[in-house]
Amino acid sequence: MEPDFDVIVAGGGVCGLIAAREIASSNLRVYVLEEDFEIGIPEKCAGLISVKALSYLGLFPSRKIVNNEIKRALIHSPLGSKVEVEATNQRVIVLNRREFDRELAKIAERNGALIDLGQKVLSVENEDGLVKVKTAKYERSARILVDARGLSSLKPEHGILQAAQYDIQGSWFEKDRIEVYLNNEISPGFFKWLIPLGHDTARLGVAGYSINPFEQLDKFVKDHKAKVMKKVASPIFIGGASKKFVHNSILYVGDAAGQTKPTTGGGIFTGGTGAVLAGRAVSESLINNDLSALRNYEVNWKRIFGKEFTIMSQARKIYERMDNGRIDKMVKVLSSSKILDKLSNKADFDYHSIGISQILSIIKEHPSLALDLIKSGFCAMFNMFKS
Ligand SMILES: Cc1cc2nc3c(=O)[nH]c(=O)nc-3n(C[C@H](O)[C@H](O)[C@H](O)COP(=O)(O)OP(=O)(O)OC[C@H]3O[C@@H](n4cnc5c(N)ncnc54)[C@H](O)[C@@H]3O)c2cc1C
């Protein structure tokens, strides 16, 4: 039976749109189904990405999609210590996620993809060698399905943090400096963040295990006499990548495959790379009529990020076991360390293992802190870098 399309993409978020762009560029018939009535909203993401990662995903930092450029990060310990890390070399920008997603949709359409809005995928079935997708209005078939429905498709049993983010107006922060507030008592496993969008506007967010994020953000806003312009809530996934991304002729990409960094939950680069690789594997497979080529997607993604994700997950485990006293000690050690400059210049926003290894080498020089952390898995972590 002849299918309606070569490929159906379920979900028109960043990863679905990148996959659609890649596949449509090979002259294959691509159909994107997005349940929302507009691309790019609701805007749930903080939008931090490096210029290097953006260009890897095939986009340039135009004024339209970039809200701000970040040069420094100020990290607050729960007990009031602070450390400032220089980040100019990492060229980190804050995306306007709405415009970014719309730009991706335009490129996908220009390449020939059809995008259908307001179409929720209700069921997916494999039948007669085709994938059949049902919405409330119709059924469509394709040779391959790319599932990019985000966390609604992953349905994780662990690794979910409650999170919310406000757009605020205030006057105490600096335009080119993000702020991170660590506190394992009130935001266990994560932190509060402040990401400036301009001189007096910022994204303020918090995430953590089993927290009420609105309560915390409301208190912060009140204490800082800020004005709230927008509120959104959306969970963050830090549980690690799925074991398999490819199931017969269905490929999972982005959040749907757990491709968010286990440290910060950032997923535009790691999931976007998944979408690029999935798109290439799908094109290769359909052009050569060889479904086994789909596996290249998983193999190539794991070659780039496999070890990186293991190291990030291990670092997360250590952080989650640290109490506020230890976090404070670590921030103090970092702020007084001679190699803070090295950390500032060499750390990589896209590959956290580089910064993690530098932090470990600083800690190693401070036996009291190292001893504190041994119980938390520090040795296992150190051995991972040796191997
Ligand atoms: C608070 C927060 C802050 C973040 N900050 C950053 C950051 O600073 N940097 C970074 O890199 N990452 C960040 N992330 C992560 C990043 O936003 C995600 O990893 C990324 O958006 C994932 O893209 P995706 O396309 O895989 O999934 P999504 O963006 O979730 O897209 C999935 C799409 O599928 C659609 N959909 C769902 N179900 C169906 C259905 N049944 N039928 C049809 N369509 C459907 C949805 O409407 C949506 O459009 C943040 C996430 C959160 C929650």
Secondary structure (3-state) at 360: helix
Fold agreement (5-66+96-156+239-305, 160-237)? no
Out of 17, 38, 255, 273, give the residue to mutate to test ligand 1, the one with the largest number of ligand atoms within 8 Å of its CB: 255
Instruction: Give CA separation, 148 vs 65, 72, 92, 264, 383, in Å.
Output: 22, 33, 25, 20, 35
Secondary structure (3-state) at 49: strand
Task: State whether CATH 3.40.50.1100 applies to domain 5-66+96-156+239-305.
Answer: no
**Every domain of the chain and the residues it spans:** 5-66+96-156+239-305, 160-237, 308-386
Cβ atoms of 154 and 274 closer than 8 Å: no
The alpha carbon of 303 is separated from its chain's Cα centroid by a whole number of angstroms, namely 18
Q: How many other C-beta atoms can be found within 10 angstroms of the C-beta atom of residue 158?
A: 8
Can you give the C-alpha Rg of the chain in angstroms? 22
Q: Which amino acid, one-letter code, is at 155? A: K
Q: How many other C-beta atoms can be found within 10 angstroms of the C-beta atom of residue 41?
A: 13
Q: 274 CA distance to ligand 1 centroid (A)? A: 14
Per the prediction, the chain carries an average pLDDT of: 92
pLDDT at site 205:
98
Task: Say if ligand 1 is within 6 A of residue 236 CB.
Answer: yes
Tell me the pLDDT tens digit for each residue of 248-304.
999 999 999 999 999 999 999 999 999 999 999 999 999 999 999 999 999 999 999
Say if residue 232's pLDDT is above 90: yes
The Cα–Cα gap between 254 and 150 comes to 7
Q: How many other C-beta atoms can be found within 10 angstroms of the C-beta atom of residue 180?
A: 17
What pTM was estimated for this model as a whole? Answer: 0.94
Lowest mean pLDDT among 112-116, 158-162, 297-301, 343-347: 343-347
Average pLDDT in the 107-126 region?
A: 97
Torsion of CA 125, 126, 130, 135, to 10 degrees: 0
* DSSP code, position 134: E
Q: Which two tokens stand for residue 79?
A: 């007990």
Percent of the chain with pLDDT over 90: 79
pLDDT at site 242:
97
pLDDT at site 374:
56
Cβ atoms of 133 and 10 closer than 8 Å: yes
| Tally: H helices and E strands in the chain | 12, 19
Instruction: Give CA separation, 18 vs 51, 100, 110, 288, 378, in Å.
Output: 17, 11, 12, 22, 38
E strand or H helix at 21 = helix 14-24
Atom from ligand 1 closest to the CA of residue 254: 26
pLDDT-based confidence at residue 141 (cuts at 50, 70, 90): very high
Task: State whether CATH 1.20.120.160 applies to domain 160-237.
Answer: no
The Cα–Cα gap between 319 and 298 comes to 29
Task: Say if ligand 1 is within 6 A of residue 3 CB.
Answer: no
Out of 45, 97, 197, give the residue to mutate to test ligand 1, the one with the largest number of ligand atoms within 8 Å of its CB: 45
pLDDT-based confidence at residue 357 (cuts at 50, 70, 90): confident
Task: Say if ligand 1 is within 6 A of residue 274 CB.
Answer: no
Cβ atoms of 137 and 240 closer than 8 Å: no
